[in-house]
Chains A and B, each alone.
Chain A
Amino acid sequence: MTDYLLFLLYAPMASWGDIAVDERRPTADHPTKSAVFGMIAAALGLQRNQEVEQRHLADSFGFAARLDAPGVFLHDYHTSQRPSGKSMRGLLTRRDELAREHKKLVTKLSYREYRCDVLTTICLWRRVEAASSYSLDDISKALQSPKYTLYLGRKACPLGLPLRPVQTRAVTLADAFASKEALLLIRRAMEAFDLGSTQATNYEEIAAQLGKHLSTARPVRAFWEGSPHEGFELIHSVERRDQIDSRASWQFRTRLEHEGIWKAPSAPQLQKRDADS
Chain B
Amino acid sequence: MDRFLQLHLLTVYPPSNLNRDDLGRPKTAILGGKQRLRISSQSLKRAWRTSDVFKQALSNGTKEEIPLSEEFMEGLGNPDLSPHLGVRTKDIGIAIYNVLIARGVNEKNAQTWAKTIAEKFGDAESEDKLKKDKEDEYKPLKHLQLKQPNLFSMDELAQMDQLSQRLAKEKRPPTDDELGVLRDDHRMVDIAMFGRMLAHKNNYIREEAAVQVAHAVTVHEVQIENDFFTAVDDLNLSAKTGKPGEDAGAAFVGDFEFGAGLFYLYVCVDREDLLLNLQDDRDLWERSLRALTKATATVAPTGKQNSFASRAIANFILAERGNTSPRSLTAAFLKPVGAGDPLHDAIEVLRTTRINMNKVYGINEATIEVNANTGEGSFDALLKFVVAEGGTNQ
Query: Do the beta carbons of A89 and B200 come within 8 Å of each other?
Result: yes
Query: Do the beta carbons of A82 and B334 come within 8 Å of each other?
Result: no
Query: Do the beta carbons of B190 and A94 come within 8 Å of each other?
Result: yes
Q: Does B158 contact A (CB under 8 A)?
A: no
Query: Do the beta carbons of B122 and A97 come within 8 Å of each other?
Result: no
Which segment, of B9-17, B98-106, B321-329, faces chain A? B321-329
Query: Do the beta carbons of A214 and B179 come within 8 Å of each other?
Result: no
Q: Does B72 contact A (CB under 8 A)?
A: no
| Among A95, A100, A194: residue with most chain B CB under 10 A | A95
Instruction: Give how many B residues have a beta carbon under 8 Å from the other chain's beta carbons.
Output: 72
Given A48, A83, A156, which contacts B213 in the complex, CB threshold below 8 Å?
A: A156
Query: Do the beta carbons of B197 and A91 come within 8 Å of each other?
Result: yes
Residues of A within 8 Å of B200, CB to CB, are 89, 91, 97
Given A43, A99, A148, which contacts B270 in the complex, CB threshold below 8 Å?
A: A148
Q: Does B258 contact A (CB under 8 A)?
A: no
Q: Does B291 contact A (CB under 8 A)?
A: no
Given A90, A145, A148, A160, which contacts B328 in the complex, CB threshold below 8 Å?
A: A160
Q: Does B363 contact A (CB under 8 A)?
A: yes
Query: Do the beta carbons of A156 and B179 come within 8 Å of each other?
Result: no
Residues of A within 8 Å of B179, CB to CB, are 90, 92
Query: Do the beta carbons of B198 and A95 come within 8 Å of each other?
Result: no
C-alpha spacing A43/B326, complex, angstroms: 11
Shortest Cβ distance from residue B61 to the other chain A in the assembled complex, whole angstroms: 16
Given B40, B50, B361, which contacts A76 in the complex, CB threshold below 8 Å?
A: B40
Closest to A10 in B: B331
Residues B1-40 near A (CB distance < 8 A)? 4, 21-22, 27-33, 40
Residues of A within 8 Å of B29, CB to CB, are 12-13, 74, 114, 116
Residues A144-162 near B (CB distance < 8 A)? 144-146, 148-151, 155-162
Given B46, B55, B176, B360, which contacts A188 in the complex, CB threshold below 8 Å?
A: B360
Given B123, B210, B326, which contacts A158 in the complex, CB threshold below 8 Å?
A: B326
Residues B319-370 near A (CB distance < 8 A)? 323-331, 334-335, 352-353, 356-357, 360-361, 363
Query: Do the beta carbons of B361 and A188 come within 8 Å of each other?
Result: yes
C-alpha spacing A87/B4, complex, angstroms: 38
C-alpha spacing A237/B327, complex, angstroms: 34
C-alpha spacing A151/B180, complex, angstroms: 33
Q: Does A139 contact B (CB under 8 A)?
A: no
Residues of A within 8 Å of B209, CB to CB, are 155
Shortest Cβ distance from residue A115 to the other chain B in the assembled complex, whole angstroms: 9
C-alpha spacing A87/B199, complex, angstroms: 10
Binary interface profile of B, 265-295, with partner A (CB < 8 Å = 1, else 0)? 0101010010000000000000000000000
If A77-B21, A148-B208, A149-B212 touch, does A116 touch B31 (CB 8 Å cutoff)?
Answer: yes
Closest to A188 in B: B360
Query: Do the beta carbons of A213 and B32 come within 8 Å of each other?
Result: yes
| Among B121, B200, B213: residue with most chain A CB under 10 A | B200
Q: Does B241 contact A (CB under 8 A)?
A: no
Shortest Cβ distance from residue A39 to the other chain B in the assembled complex, whole angstroms: 10
Closest to A82 in B: B198
Given A76, A144, A155, A194, which contacts B352 in the complex, CB threshold below 8 Å?
A: A194
Q: Does B139 contact A (CB under 8 A)?
A: no
If A48-B208, A99-B305, A162-B361 touch, does A93 touch B186 (CB 8 Å cutoff)?
Answer: yes
C-alpha spacing A99/B190, complex, angstroms: 15
C-alpha spacing A61/B249, complex, angstroms: 57
C-alpha spacing A78/B43, complex, angstroms: 9
Query: Do the beta carbons of B32 and A117 come within 8 Å of each other?
Result: yes
C-alpha spacing A145/B3, complex, angstroms: 10
Query: Do the beta carbons of B121 and A99 come within 8 Å of each other?
Result: yes
Complex A-B, nearest 3 residue pairs according to Cβ-Cβ distance, in ascending order:
A156-B41, A82-B198, A92-B183
- Chain B residues close to A by CB (< 8 Å): 4, 21-22, 27-33, 40-42, 46, 49-50, 55, 119-123, 147-148, 150, 176, 179-180, 182-183, 186-187, 190, 194, 197-201, 207-210, 212-215, 217, 266, 268, 270, 273, 305-306, 323-331, 334-335, 352-353, 356-357, 360-361, 363
- 17 A–B contacts, CB within 8 A, in A order: A12-B214, A13-B214, A74-B28, A80-B42, A90-B120, A90-B176, A91-B197, A93-B186, A93-B190, A95-B305, A144-B324, A148-B273, A157-B214, A158-B268, A161-B327, A162-B363, A192-B357
